[in-house]
Structure 1
C-alpha cells in the first residue's frame, strides 16, 4: 500500500503482517477544512496495534495512537527513510528483530530561542 499527502483517521487500528509493504507520507501543510500537516494516522482505539511478520513500513509523518499498545516484532521494520517519523502511543513494545528509526533533526515549534531535540518521553 502506498500514498502521498494522506492522513488516515481511524475508528480502529492499522495492523500489518505477513510481509506487508507500506509507504505512506503525510501532507506537509495544513489546509483549512482539510488536511492536517504531518499527521499520518490518528486513532483513539484502545486495541493493540501489531506490526509483525516481516512487514516493512516506510512512514513519513506522525502516527498518533495515544491509547493503544503498539507491538513491533517478527522482523518488522518501521522507518522514516530519510524523513521524519514520529510514533505517539500509550506503550511501544519492540522485540523479535524489530527495527524502527527516523530522521527528525529537531521538533518544530517555538523553543524560546533554544535548540529543541528529540527524546523518548515516558
Structure 2
C-alpha cells in the first residue's frame, strides 16, 4: 500500500525539504534562469516545452509558435548553459526534476508543459 502513495516523481519532490528542492533546481537550471533574466528570454520555458514534447522538434516548435530552426538554436543554448545532453535519459530526468522543483517554488508547474501536452 505504501508504494501506491508515491506514484510519480512529483510525490517524491513533495517529500523533500524546500531548501533541497530549491538548491537542486538552482544547480541544474541556474544558468538558464540567469540568462533569461539578463536577456529577457524564456529558455526555461523552451526547455519545459521540449521535454513535454518528448524531444519531438516539430511538435514542440508548433506548440511554441516558432520555427524548428529557432528551436534548435534555443536548445543549443540550453545545452551550452546547462552542460546537459538533451539526448541522455539521465540528463533529461535531471532537467525535468529541476523544472518540477522550480515549479514547486513558484507555486505551480512550469507553464509551457500544458501548451505542449494538450
Q: Which has the higher contact order (CA 8 A, sep 6+)?
A: 2
Higher strand share: 1
Q: TM-score range by the shorter chain?
A: under 0.3
Provide TM-score, normalisation by structure 1: 0.22
Higher helix share: 2
Provide TM-score, normalisation by structure 2: 0.22
